[in-house]
Structure 1
Amino acid sequence: MKALLAGFRGFAAYFGGVLGADAYKKYLEHHHASGHDGLPMSERAFWRDHSDRQDNNPQSRCC
C-alpha cells in the first residue's frame, strides 16, 4: 500500500510540474538563490503577473 501511495504522490508531483502548479515554489527558490535584496512577490501577485505574461505572449501556452 505504501508503494502505491508513493507512486501516486510521484505521479501527482510530476503532473503538477507539467501543468506549472509548482511555478511559485520555483520562483521563490530562484529569488533566494539569485541573491535578490528585496522581498519576493506574494503568491497572489506572482500568479497575476504570470497570467499577464501569458496574455501578452500567447505563444507560450497551448490554448
Structure 2
Amino acid sequence: MNAILEGFRGFARYFGGVMGADAYAKYLEHHADSGHGEAPMTEREFWRDRTDRQDSNPQGRCC
C-alpha cells in the first residue's frame, strides 16, 4: 500500500511540474540564487505578472 501511495505522490509532483504549479517555488529559488537586492514578488504578484506576460505575448498553449 505504501508503494502505491508513493507512486501517486510522484505522479502528482510530475503533473504539477508539467502544469506549472511549482513556478513560484522555482522563481523564489532563482531569486535567492541570483542575489537580487530587492525582495521577491509575493505569490499573488508573481501569478499576476505571469498571467499578464502570457496575455501580452501569446504562445502555443492549450488554454
Q: TM-score, normalised by structure 1?
A: 0.94
5+ long unaligned stretches in structure 1? none
Matches within 5 A, 1:20-59: 20-59=20-59
Count of residue correspondences? 63
Q: How much has 1:60 moved relative to structure 2?
A: 4.8
Task: Give the CA RMSD over aligned residues.
Answer: 1.0
5+ long unaligned stretches in structure 2? none
**Moved runs in structure 1, 4+ residues, more than 6 A?**
none
Task: Decide whether aligned partners of structure 1 residues 46 and 15 sit closer, same or farther in structure 2, where only a CA change above 3 A counts.
Answer: same
Q: How much has 1:24 moved relative to structure 2?
A: 0.1
| Maintained 8 Å contact 1:54/1:61 | no
Amino acid at match of 1:19: M
Task: Decide whether aligned partners of structure 1 residues 60 and 44 sit closer, same or farther in structure 2, where only a CA change above 3 A counts.
Answer: farther
Counting aligned pairs with the same residue, the percent is 73
Q: TM-score, normalised by structure 2?
A: 0.94
| Maintained 8 Å contact 1:54/1:60 | no
